[in-house]
Every structure is written in structure tokens, then in C-alpha cells.
Structure 1
Amino acid sequence: MDKFIISVVIVLSAMLLQCSEAQTVHVVGDGMGWTVPQAGAAAYQTWANNNKFLVGDILTFNFATGEHDVLQVPKESFDSCSSANPIGDTITTGPVNITLSNAGNHYYICTVGQHCQFGQKLAITVSGSPTPTTSPSPQTIPPSPQTTTPTTPSPSSGTPAPCTPTPTSSPAASPKAGGPTGQTPTPPDSSSSGVFASFFVSLLPIAAAFLF
């Protein structure tokens, strides 16, 4: 049970550490706050050089409402302590927290009286938020194309190949001229002719006897 509690504490501590690394609150001027510095503009310049600013960090301007204000301006207005071309609105209620939403150079001044000319101005450089390193994903090798072997159709079994029809009988003899087409004349029966001839010969003596 004790080991489990220790593990939970370690995990929570790691999460809190990550949150603190991802977002840092910077109190402008630390204990000096946002005011007219006695050492002039070098005081805030030294403070900015001792801090590292990342996107997502927060600037806290500690000042009493009605005594100071905060306005973000471009570099030209910062150098001349002018409120021309402001970036956003003038913040008059203190203290105020400003989140650094983008990387680059940021410039802030106080527009009350001659506070900016006396050194109440801040210039910082904001770096991009660190991105976690990720291991490169393994390269996907595309599958090799499948080779298909063309198949030769096999001849159908049991079915003979068509062939030229053969005649069932020899062609009939050509018919005689004048005979019916496609019919062959039947020769006379020799046996019946012989019987008739012999019968005729036997009748000749009988006929001759009647005549004489």
C-alpha cells in the first residue's frame, strides 16, 4: 500500500513539474513591481535579461490602480515613449496578468505622465514553446505486387472435336436421261423371263395343230 501511495505522489509531482515548465509566471521587476524605477530603464532591462520567456508564460504587472497602467506598443512607440499604434487596449486596473501568446519581441510602457521617459518600460523576447521530441515512425514498406501466372484453358474432356461429316453410302449412279431424278432403274428379273419363254415354246405345237 505504501509503495502505491509513493507511486501516485511521484506521478502527481511529475505532472505538476510539467505544468510548471509549460507555463511560468514572471512578476515584472520582482519585488520592485511595476513602477518608476530609481535606476531608470536599465532596471527592467536587467530583470528581463535574467529571465527566459516562452509562449504561454504569464507576465504579472503589480501596480496600484490609478497610479500606473500598461500598454503594449511596437518598437518605434517604445523607443519614443509614445502610445501611437498601440497593440490592444491600455490596462488601467492593477495588478494584471498578461499571457504571452506569440513568439517575438514584446514592448510595454506606462502612459501615465512621463513614467515611460523615466524608465517605466519593458522589452522582452519571447521564444516559441518547446515541442516534445517524437521518435520517427517506422517506414512502411509497401507490399510487393503479386505475380499471377496466366492459366491456359484445358480442353474439355469427353467431347470430341467437331469433324467433317462422312457420307453413309457411296453416291448413287447418275440416272439415265429421261428417268426420274434420284432413282436407279431396276433390271428385269432373269428367272421370270425364262419361265415365260419356255411356256411360249410349249404352246407353239398346239397352235400349229389347230392351224393345219
Structure 2
Amino acid sequence: MGQERGSAMIWLTLLLCFQSSFAATFMVGDASGWGFGVSNWPNGKSFKAGDVLEFKYNRPNHDVAVVDKEGYESCYVADDAQVFETGDDLITLQQGHNYFVCGFPAHCNNGMKIAVTAT
């Protein structure tokens, strides 16, 4: 009985390791990158927790801010928001809803924002 339990634990551990090694990387906006009108880019795509979004854009003209649903809908970036500014940012998706906007004035309002749900 103890040996069976040990074998099951080993298989479970291997399965979890195997699953996590298949995280996908998605370039936001595809070849166009992170820019205006990208808000529909996630449509039709499936995302999992642990997948990585790559935001490519011209720095210093844009950035990527991680916001909550309210920030996404209102295009408001709180003072304590995590903001990326390298022009080639990699952000790992958390399970559930993930919201990203450009924090530059009027950029979010002009469609430079995405909402992604990761399972």
C-alpha cells in the first residue's frame, strides 16, 4: 500500500512538471506588436496560467501597465501599478483575469489595452 502511494506521488509530480513545461509565449499584437487597436487581439486565443505575453513596442513612446478590471475599463493606472518600460517585456499570466493598458495619456482610450483570461 505504501509503495503504491509513493508511485502515485511520483507520477503526479512528473505530470505537474511535464504540464508546466508547456507554457506558451504569445507576442501581443502578433507582428504589429503592442500598439493602438490591439484590444481585440486576444479574441479566439486560449491562454493558460503560466503562459507568457511578450509586449514589443517602441520605447519611450509606450509602456505596459498591469491593472485591475476597473483600471482596464476606465484606463486608469494606479500609482502602485506594476509598469514595464523596456520595449520588449515578458509578463507571465496569472490564473483568471489579467488586464494590461498603455499608461501614456490617451493611448488606452485609443485601444491600447487588452484583457486576457487564463485557465
Q: How does 1:1-212 map to 2 (within 5 A)?
A: 22-37=22-37, 43-45=38-40, 47-84=41-78, 86-87=80-81, 89-100=82-93, 102-127=94-119
Residue type at the aligned position of 2:111 = G
Q: Please, what TM-score do these two structures have when normalized by structure 2?
A: 0.77
Does the 8 A contact of 1:70 with 1:109 survive in 2?
Answer: yes
Any idea what the Cα deviations from partners look like across 1:36-82, whole Å, max 9, x if unmatched?
12xxxxx432x212211111110000112201000011111111101
| Alpha-carbon spacing, 1:44–1:99, altered in 2? closer, same or farther (3 Å) | same
| Counterpart AA for 1:30 | D
Please say which structure displays the higher CA radius of gyration.
1
CA distance in 1, matches of 2:61, 2:100: 16
The answer to whether the Cα contact below 8 Å between 1:108 and 1:123 also exists between their aligned partners in 2 is yes
**RMSD, matched Cα:** 2.0
1:90 Cα shift?
Answer: 1.1
Identity, % of aligned positions? 35
* Shift of residue 85, structure 1, vs aligned partner: 6.3
Q: Which runs of 5+ in 2 are unaligned?
A: 1-17
- Partner secondary structure for residue 22 of structure 1: coil
- Runs of 4+ with >2 A deviation: 18-21, 84-87
Relative distance call for 1:109 and 1:86 in structure 2 (3 A) is: farther
Say whether the 8 Å CA contact 2:97–2:115 is kept in structure 1.
yes
Look up the SS of the partner of 1:79 in the other structure.
helix
Aligned CA distance change for structure 1 residues 56 and 92 (closer, same or farther; 3 Å): same
Stretches of structure 1 lacking an aligned partner (at least 5 in a row): 1-17, 38-42, 128-212
Work out the CA distance in 2 between the residues paired with 1:82 and 1:59: 21
Question: 1:86–1:32: structure 2 CA closer, same or farther, 3 Å change rule?
Answer: farther
Q: How many aligned residue pairs are there? A: 102
| Distance (whole Å) between structure 1 residues aligned to residue 30 and residue 74 of structure 2 | 25
TM-score w.r.t. the length of structure 1 is 0.45
Cα distance in structure 2, aligned partners of 1:61 and 1:80: 21
Identify which of structures 1 and 2 has the higher relative contact order when contacts are C-alpha pairs closer than 8 Å and 6+ apart.
2
| Alpha-carbon separation, structure 2, partners of 1:83 and 1:31 | 26
Higher strand share: 2
- The one-letter code matched in structure 2 to 1:99 is T
